[in-house]
């Protein structure tokens, strides 16, 4: 990879200090690789020095291949008694005509160094028009042979993630300083905990980078809340993995879970002039431990507001289902769209509209089920830990209009709502007011236990659900429910069976109520 750079119009003051200049770096690969070339222009607009000749502030202007303009400012630079930077303030403003405008402001202070002049600690606050406010405390505990931080701890808070802590360690680097093996663990208040290892080394010792330094292979394994134990392999060493500007175009991700394997191959991605993803086509192959499988062609399209945030997107999915013997078992057609997405000043979603539809066809390709839903969610609120706290929603579900308000009051350490209430009305069920509390979840983020009180369909509700068990596809397989109705106490156990499309096919129920012991069988879809 060649990096020729042309610098011109460099000026100096009477002390020989550098003032404005223009620079045009060109990144271009050798002839034995797919075409790759990027150009940009960098212009130093201002440079100011303190009485000791140290830079106090500077301003750079940059334009890239797509004429994306940015202005970088570094100012308020302060030094300690040893001439090391103690604090500084940075901002980066990016524009593309009237269609794209973002700004990031960051302040670092309390910068501390060890006896060898290596940075070991700092505090940081920032604000982004896309992601809101954040703060971070960073500390290095160990360094590698080249002086790079090899073991780091961080903690902080952001509008999008809430509170978080993270520890990371780089175990091995290549000669270019790229991470080959690393370990990371942490937790945040919106998505829970994780403990993972990442490697860019293939089984035979080959490194996962091409001659341009782009990633071609990565394996990550460990445990992550919502997934449980997992291994994910990412391959992007295809001839067309990256486009001429180095953006991802084609790759394959294989996610191995306890009961299933999911392989997603991205067949093509398109980008806007501001390098935002606007189109993606992919194929998802899911294989379960019982031998059943599903192959899905997916197409995604997105558009953005003038702040660079996702304004709307749509996705279509066409799936073929196969039985345990590999024979064709049916087809599913799904579509989902979300539009008119609006954000608050912290970058959090505050309202949107969405639609979804599902069609199911059996082996002779006859339509056997069709479902359409639509809704509008507004007045979305978050607590100080960035957890979804409240919203209003109206729409049509299962053929009935509904209007409801949701309010959560207690969350667990993984950001899941433990106590919440819903108040609303439904054309089919009438008014309802439900309180769910004492909710518990498994490592996959699935509900296992909860209590409910309230009113639904004009009847009081008081029940407890325990020991929810799921099958390999994440569907409820068994559960126990006990509670009280107008007729008295009851206690029952449900066992569910599903067809190849995931529809409830057969349900057996047994238990005891005011009439005594009972059991029943219910046939759903045949």
Which sequence spans correspond to the domains of the chain?
A: 1-105, 260-382, 398-526
CA distance 250 to 359: 29
Region 474-494 average pLDDT? 94
Among 38, 34, 42, 50, which residue's Cα sits nearest to residue 2? 38
pTM summary value: 0.85
Q: How far apart are CA 141 and CA 147, in angstroms?
A: 12
pLDDT of residue 36: 46
Average pLDDT, the chain: 90
Tell whether the torsion through CA atoms of 198, 204, 207 and 211 is positive or negative. negative
- Place 282 in a pLDDT band, splitting at 50, 70 and 90: very high
Residue 166 has pLDDT above 80, yes or no: yes
For the segment 374-390, what is each residue's pLDDT rounded down to a tens digit?
999 999 999 999 999 99
Decide if pLDDT at 350 tops 80. yes
Work out the percent of the chain whose per-residue pLDDT is above 70: 91
Residue 469 confidence (pLDDT) above 50 = yes
Rg (CA), the chain: 28
**Does residue 138 have a pLDDT over 50?**
yes
Q: How does pLDDT run across 7-45, given as a tens digit for each residue? A: 555 555 655 555 565 555 545 554 444 444 455 678 888
The yes-or-no verdict on residue 105 having pLDDT over 90 is yes
Q: pLDDT per residue over 213-232, tens digit each?
A: 999 999 999 999 999 999 99
What percent of the chain is helix, strand and coil (3-state, nearest 5)? 0, 70, 30
CATH number of the domain located at residue range(s) 398-526 in this protein: 2.40.128
pLDDT at 256: 98
Q: What is the pLDDT of residue 32?
A: 46
Q: Enumerate residues 6+ apart whose C-beta is below 8 A from 60.
A: 42, 43, 44, 45, 71, 72, 73
Q: What is the pLDDT of residue 22?
A: 58
pLDDT in tens, 76-103: 999 999 999 999 999 999 988 777 789 9
Token pair for 113: 């160094």
User: How confident is the model at residue 392, as a pLDDT?
Assistant: 98
Specify the pLDDT at position 526: 46
Q: What is the mean pLDDT of residues 329-343?
A: 95
Tokens of 36: 């790759």
Query: Picking from 1-15, 42-56, 184-198, 345-359, which range would have the lowest pLDDT averaged per residue?
Result: 1-15
pLDDT of residue 390: 98
């Amino acid at each position: 990879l060649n990096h020729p750079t042309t610098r011109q119009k460099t000026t100096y003051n009477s002390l020989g200090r550098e003032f404005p200049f223009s620079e045009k770096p060109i990144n271009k690969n050798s002839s034995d690789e797919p075409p790759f070339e990027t150009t940009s222009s960098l212009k130093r607009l201002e440079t100011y020095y303190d009485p000791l000749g140290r830079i106090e502030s500077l301003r750079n202007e940059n334009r890239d291949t797509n004429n994306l303009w940015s202005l970088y400012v570094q100012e308020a630079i302060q030094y300690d008694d040893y001439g090391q930077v103690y604090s500084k303030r940075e901002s980066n403003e990016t524009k593309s005509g009237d269609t794209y405008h973002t700004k990031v402001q960051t302040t670092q202070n309390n910068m501390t160094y060890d006896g060898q002049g290596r940075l070991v600690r700092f505090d940081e606050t920032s604000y982004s028009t896309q992601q809101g406010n954040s703060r971070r405390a960073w500390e290095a505990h160990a360094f590698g042979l080249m002086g790079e931080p090899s073991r780091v701890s961080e903690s902080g808070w952001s509008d999008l993630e809430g509170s978080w802590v993270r520890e990371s360690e780089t175990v091995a680097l290549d000669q270019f300083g790229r991470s080959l093996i690393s370990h990371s663990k942490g937790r945040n208040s919106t998505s829970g905990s994780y403990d993972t290892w990442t490697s860019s080394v293939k089984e035979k010792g080959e490194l996962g980078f091409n001659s341009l330094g782009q990633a071609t292979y990565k394996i990550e394994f460990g445990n992550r809340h919502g997934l449980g134990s997992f291994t994910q392999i990412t391959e992007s060493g295809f001839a067309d993995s990256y486009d001429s500007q180095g953006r991802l175009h084609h790759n394959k991700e294989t996610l191995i879970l306890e009961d299933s394997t999911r392989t997603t191959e991205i067949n093509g991605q398109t980008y806007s002039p501001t390098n935002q993803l606007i189109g993606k086509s992919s194929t998802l192959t899911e294989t379960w431990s019982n031998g059943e499988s599903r192959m899905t062609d997916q197409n995604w399209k997105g558009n953005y507001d003038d702040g660079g945030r996702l304004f709307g997107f749509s996705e279509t999915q066409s799936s073929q289902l196969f039985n345990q013997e590999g024979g064709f078992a049916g087809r599913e057609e799904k579509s989902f769209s979300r539009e008119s997405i609006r954000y608050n000043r912290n970058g959090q979603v505050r309202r949107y509209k969405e639609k979804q539809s599902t069609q199911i066809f059996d082996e002779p390709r006859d339509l056997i089920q069709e479902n359409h839903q639509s809704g509008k969610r507004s007045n979305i609120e978050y607590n100080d830990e960035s957890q979804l706290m409240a919203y209003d929603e109206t729409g049509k579900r299962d053929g009935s209009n509904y209007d409801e308000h949701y309010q959560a009051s207690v969350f667990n350490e993984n950001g899941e709502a433990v106590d919440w209430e819903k108040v609303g009305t439904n054309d089919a069920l009438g008014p309802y007011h439900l309180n769910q509390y004492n909710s518990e979840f498994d490592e996959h983020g699935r509900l296992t236990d909860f209590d409910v009180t309230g009113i639904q369909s004009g009847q009081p509700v008081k029940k407890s659900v325990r020991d929810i068990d799921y099958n390999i596809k994440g569907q409820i397989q068994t559960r126990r429910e006990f509670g009280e109705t107008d007729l008295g106490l009851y206690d029952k156990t449900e066992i569910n069976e599903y067809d190849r499309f995931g529809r409830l096919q057969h349900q057996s129920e047994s238990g005891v109520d005011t009439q005594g012991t009972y059991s029943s069988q219910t046939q759903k879809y045949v």
